[in-house]
Amino acid sequence: MFELSSSPSNTPPPTSSSPSNYLCLYFSMEPKLHLFFSALCFYLVSAYGNTLRTYIVQLHPHGVTSSSFPTKFLWHLSFLDQTLSSEEDSSSRLLYSYGSAMEGFAALLTETEIELLRGLPDVVAVRPDQLLQLQTTYSYKFLGLSSTTDGAWVKSGFGRGTIIGVLDTGVWPESPSFADQGMPPVPKRWRGMCQEGQNFKATSCNRKLIGARFFIKGHHVSSVPPSENMVDEYISPRDSSGHGTHTSSTAGGVSVPMASVLGNVAGVARGMAPGAHIAVYKVCWFNGCYSSDILAAIDVAIVDGVDVLSLSLGGFPLPLFDDSIAIGSFRAVEHGISVICAAGNNGPIQSSVANIAPWIATIGASTLDRKFPAIVRMGNGEYVYGESLFPGKSLPIAEKELELVYVTGGNSGSEFCFRGSLPKEKVKGKMVVCDRGVNGRAEKGVAVKEAGGAAMILANTEINLEEDSVDAHVLPATEIGYAEAVRLKTYMDTTSHPRARIVFGGTVIGTSRAPEVAQFSARGPNLYDSTILKPDVIAPGVNIIAAWPQNLGPTGLPEDTRRVNFTVMSGTSMACPHVSGIAALIHSAHPGWTPAAIKSAIMTSADASDHRGKPIMDGSKPAAVFAIGAGHVNPNRAIDPGLIYDIKPDEYVIHLCTLGYTRSEIFTITHRNVSCSEKLKMNRGFSLNYPSISVAFKHGVKSKMITRRLTNVGNPNSVYSVQVKPPEGVKVRVKPRRLIFKHINQSLSYRIWVISRKKTQTKKISYAEGQLTWMNAHNSFHRVRSPISVTWK
């Protein structure tokens, strides 16, 4: 995931030194840190070496032993008192005490101590801390948002009054995207704070950025030291890597005129919900995001009073009872908070989609119809298409014809342009071809420049194919797709003195098909729950322009001395805050709606076609539901969906029972002690009221019946008729075929019979897809569409 979403430089994480050595070194650099960490350092080095590790200990929320203690904190501490030796101060091992996202705590423990702890009353589960990774001047226009038409912005007051909580790398509060001119007062219900720290004062917050906190304890006790060429980290809510500033401004940044990246893509920058308030929770540091810190932030955000939580982070899919984000977000949803998460950047691998809990909105990434042409004119007169954000159009010297060189051979990694791998005598003054992969895209340009190269062509390999994430390189450069890379290298191999020049074309809008699925966007099917289709939707996530901190150049590399207020990034990290902002718009327009209702509105209004009315593409083929879910977000239709599929928290519990989860596993996830046999007996034939429909036929099963319930949020006296496009090899029956709603908020149910006509023995596993749409008889705007996914195993 680092290549696509940790920062524009795509710098890989460091991998040296022990956590304990790092802890002491880091404290020596920051002497003002809390004494807690000094004591912790002493334990790590002198007493326990590397045997201590962070664990998250989950407790029963109504534990029988809790009544013996005046506070939850002391109750949590008592478990350590019973586990550690009598001469130790148990508070020095405690990192966090949780009470909202989960009942329990995070602490440093050895494996022996963990075994003792597991045997104590009221201990529900013990999980090791997990390391997760991070996953615009135009995108709001691409999505149809406008201040002059009666769409989502006008109907929601631009998100006025809604609070978006962003869990990420922090924020650069001085960015013009977080100015508060014209913003309404801070909502009276807000209970958060502006936490002071290194280079961050309480006055850094305002009516736009109303809260900022940082959570570092899990990171500090588990991390290796930063490498020498990394940007210094701020021990505060201040963003040192840019990722959090970028995502926060995408979700809710205010209008900034004349925004550009080194003169490119000039225009008005706006977030999806420019009238919403933003609260930032810094949980990600130079090497990633620890689940103990994430859980602590969710715990606090629930109490603070956020309406939407945006998490552009994750990893690979996990069982829900092992997934701290799933557990914490369930409690958030119970409190009426919409939780929006990135699907992950491990596409196009099947079943790579992360953040798969049904109460989470899981967002994949798509492209825009905006291009940054930087075309290579080869010495034979032929052209190779590429793209770049290097400002070469205004620099004639950047388009000078140069000798081409591609340095291969040996074990130095010169074909990837590692730093120090390029012989100066071979590349000086030349245009260097670098294969994409292994090290960061922009970092390759630094390597070429350090070796004396004059320009670079970044060539995609078979892994990246035609994916076109652009960068504001430190020297004249362009990125070309795999097919074009083959053409370029063939020219070089058949020419004694190959030459080329780059022709920079600036910004071009509207000439390409869009949206398309980003190649890196994680794919389904859902690894742990075949009845829930993931991702839920896709949103713009490729070459997104948004706010950027002033401690970094546009590439995010320490060597880049240029300074900008905006830069470009790609990843599902960028797609996620688009939907977080849209969720904020819906919340502002419909403050009484549940998170499930908001999610339903986003899913059932999504587009299955691109802006030309043709199928959304995934490379060279039409995109499948495992790539796009319900489709591409359409905020102007989501704000007024007509009908919604609502879900109560209790229904998620029944759903977990249908999946065969044990009582203890369900309790771990939901803090609810249930008897699944009783739940299923009372809810025979239960199916979760999810906006998409996913059916898995196991061997010998030929038909399934599914129930859904629609609630009218449009007009009274509305009539809807169903239209079905059945998946291939499947017959679909719906009863009734018409729904007559007399009142607003009236709910009506229907049944779907999915009947397989396929001979399952022909393949080990196969898929088919279709769709079911409820059409308003008197209003063509209200089309409530659900994708149908069918799997044979």
**Whole-number pLDDT of residue 136:** 47
Q: Which two tokens stand for residue 539?
A: 């949103």
Q: In 517-571, which residue ranges form alpha helices assigned H by DSSP?
A: none
User: Residue 725 forms beta bridges with which residues?
Assistant: 771
Task: Kindly indicate the confidence band of residue 24, based on its pLDDT and cuts at 50, 70 and 90.
Answer: very low
Indicate the Cα dihedral angle 490, 491, 494, 497, nearest 10°. Answer: -140
CA contacts within 13 A on the Cβ side of 434: 34
pLDDT digits (tens, 9 = 90+) for 616-640: 999 889 999 999 999 999 999 999 9
**Whole-number pLDDT of residue 22:** 30
**Whole-number pLDDT of residue 779:** 85
CA dist 526 and 532 (Å) reads: 7
- pLDDT of 495 > 70? The answer is yes
**Whole-number pLDDT of residue 146:** 79
- pLDDT of 260 > 90? The answer is no
Whole-angstrom CA distances from 141 to 146, 266, 366, 509 are: 7, 14, 15, 11
Task: Kindly indicate the confidence band of residue 537, based on its pLDDT and cuts at 50, 70 and 90.
Answer: very high
Q: Which two tokens stand for residue 791?
A: 């799997």
Peptide bond into 237 cis (omega under 30): no
**Whole-number pLDDT of residue 229:** 62
**Whole-number pLDDT of residue 464:** 80
pLDDT digits (tens, 9 = 90+) for 354-365: 999 999 999 999
**Whole-number pLDDT of residue 40:** 42
Closest listed residue to residue 527, CA positions, set 322, 787, 771, 683 = 322
**Whole-number pLDDT of residue 395:** 74
Task: Kindly indicate the confidence band of residue 226, based on its pLDDT and cuts at 50, 70 and 90.
Answer: low
User: In the predicted model, what is the mean pLDDT of residues 80-102?
Assistant: 90
Q: Which of 76, 243, 246, 590 is catalytic?
A: 243
SS3 state at 67: helix
Find out whether 363 and 356 touch, Cβ atoms under 8 Å: no
Whole-angstrom CA distances from 573 to 243, 635, 683 are: 8, 19, 38
User: In the predicted model, what is the mean pLDDT of residues 363-386?
Assistant: 92
**Whole-number pLDDT of residue 510:** 81
Higher model confidence: residue 374 or residue 2? 374
- Ramachandran assignment for 756, one of left (phi > 0), alpha (psi -120 to 50 degrees), beta (any other): beta
Task: Kindly indicate the confidence band of residue 141, based on its pLDDT and cuts at 50, 70 and 90.
Answer: confident
Whole-angstrom CA distances from 379 to 345, 410, 457, 490, 504 are: 37, 28, 15, 13, 17
* pTM across the whole model: 0.88
**Catalytic site residue 243?**
yes
Closest listed residue to residue 284, CA positions, set 5, 581, 17 = 5
Higher model confidence: residue 146 or residue 574? 574
* DSSP-assigned letters across all residues of 246-311: HHHHHHHPPPEEEEEETTEEEEEE--SSTTSEEEEEE-EETTEEEHHHHHHHHHHHHHHT-SEEEE
Q: Which range is least confidently modeled, 140-144, 224-228, 560-564, 580-584?
A: 224-228
**Whole-number pLDDT of residue 480:** 93
CA dist 517 and 519 (Å) reads: 6
**Whole-number pLDDT of residue 530:** 92
Q: Which of 573, 580, 600, 692 is catalytic?
A: 573
Q: In 412-525, which residue ranges form alpha helices assigned H by DSSP?
A: 424-427, 441-450, 482-493
Pairing of strands 123-128, 53-59: antiparallel
User: In the predicted model, what is the mean pLDDT of residues 506-511?
Assistant: 83
User: In the predicted model, what is the mean pLDDT of residues 599-604?
Assistant: 98
User: In the predicted model, what is the mean pLDDT of residues 225-251?
Assistant: 86
Average pLDDT, the chain: 88
CA dist 411 and 80 (Å) reads: 51
What percentage of the chain carries pLDDT values higher than 70? 91
User: Residue 53 forms beta bridges with which residues?
Assistant: 109
In three-state form (DSSP H/G/I as H, E/B as E, the rest C), the secondary structure along 422-440 is CCHHHHCCCEEEEECECEC
User: In the predicted model, what is the mean pLDDT of residues 747-764?
Assistant: 80
Q: What is the DSSP letter of 66?
A: G
- pLDDT of 579 > 60? The answer is yes
Pairing of strands 455-459, 431-435: parallel
- pLDDT of 561 > 60? The answer is yes
Task: Kindly indicate the confidence band of residue 4, based on its pLDDT and cuts at 50, 70 and 90.
Answer: very low
**Whole-number pLDDT of residue 228:** 61
Find out whether 258 and 266 touch, Cβ atoms under 8 Å: yes
Closest listed residue to residue 340, CA positions, set 324, 327, 359 = 359
**Catalytic site residue 573?**
yes
Beta carbons within 8 Å of 729's beta carbon, 6+ residues apart? 756, 757, 758, 768, 790
**Whole-number pLDDT of residue 50:** 45
**Whole-number pLDDT of residue 265:** 74
CA dist 571 and 138 (Å) reads: 16
In three-state form (DSSP H/G/I as H, E/B as E, the rest C), the secondary structure along 303-362 is HHCCCEEEECEECCCCCHHHCHHHHHHHHHHHCCCEEEEECCCCCCCCCCCCCCCCCCEE
Q: Which two tokens stand for residue 302?
A: 């629930």
**Whole-number pLDDT of residue 559:** 87
SS3 state at 107: strand
- pLDDT of 345 > 80? The answer is yes
- Find how far residue 672's CA is from the centre of its chain: 28
Higher model confidence: residue 565 or residue 278? 278
User: In the predicted model, what is the mean pLDDT of residues 84-91?
Assistant: 83
Task: Kindly indicate the confidence band of residue 36, based on its pLDDT and cuts at 50, 70 and 90.
Answer: very low
Closest listed residue to residue 434, CA positions, set 454, 410, 413 = 413
User: In the predicted model, what is the mean pLDDT of residues 146-166?
Assistant: 88
Q: Which of 122, 129, 168, 369 is catalytic?
A: 168
**Catalytic site residue 122?**
no
Q: Which two tokens stand for residue 501?
A: 């020049």
Q: In 58-107, which residue ranges form alpha helices assigned H by DSSP?
A: 72-83
CA dist 231 and 68 (Å) reads: 48
CA dist 509 and 37 (Å) reads: 52
Task: Kindly indicate the confidence band of residue 508, based on its pLDDT and cuts at 50, 70 and 90.
Answer: confident
